[in-house]
């Protein structure tokens, strides 16, 4: 956990004004601690993402909530897929895992053929 003062001092490209604005907008949600903010590793990563989106990719402030929302959905789906894969790896019989693997490979190959086939 890191305080706002330490974060601003140690992280190039992150200004106190920007961070405070992004907190007010709800784009990053650090914990309140001792009259200040406490940032976890995930909060720091999100701050860097917002900085990159705003300053390097020049995403407009009005568009940023949409972009962040879509990224949050994508990350959530990746977490769910990872949990599903882990559950299958732990509990599914080897035959089922092999059948799923073959089916997924078959779909990938079909997708690859569809992408490289000339239009009809």
Which two three-digit tokens encode residue 25? 């907008």
Burial class of residue 112, CB neighbours in 10 A (0-12, 13-18, 19+): exposed
Evaluate if residue 26 carries a pLDDT over 80: yes
* Percentage, residues of the chain above pLDDT 90: 77
**Where are the domains positioned within the chain?**
1-58, 61-114
Q: What is the H or E stretch that residue 97 is in?
A: helix 94-116
67-91 burial string, b = 16+ CB within 10 Å, else e? bbeeeeeeeeeeeeeeeeeeeeeee
* Mean pLDDT, the chain, integer: 90
- The whole-number pLDDT of residue 110 equals 56
CA distances from 61 to 16, 26, 49, 68, 118 (A): 17, 13, 14, 11, 41
| pLDDT tier for residue 120 given thresholds of 50, 70 and 90 | low
pLDDT for 41-100, tens place per residue?
Answer: 999 999 999 999 999 999 999 999 999 999 999 999 999 999 999 999 999 999 999 998
């Amino acid at each position: 956990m890191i305080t706002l003062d330490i974060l601003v001092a140690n992280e190039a490209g992150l200004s106190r004004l920007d961070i405070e604005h992004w907190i007010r907008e709800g784009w990053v949600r650090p914990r309140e601690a001792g009259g200040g903010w406490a940032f976890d590793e995930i909060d720091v990563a999100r701050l860097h993402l917002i900085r990159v989106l705003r300053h390097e990719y020049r995403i407009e402030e009005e568009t940023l909530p949409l972009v962040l929302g879509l990224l949050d959905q994508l990350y959530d789906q990746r977490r769910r897929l990872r949990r599903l894969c882990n559950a299958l790896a732990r509990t599914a019989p080897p035959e089922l895992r092999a059948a799923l693997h073959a089916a997924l490979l078959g779909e990938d190959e079909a997708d690859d053929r569809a992408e490289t086939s000339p239009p009809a």
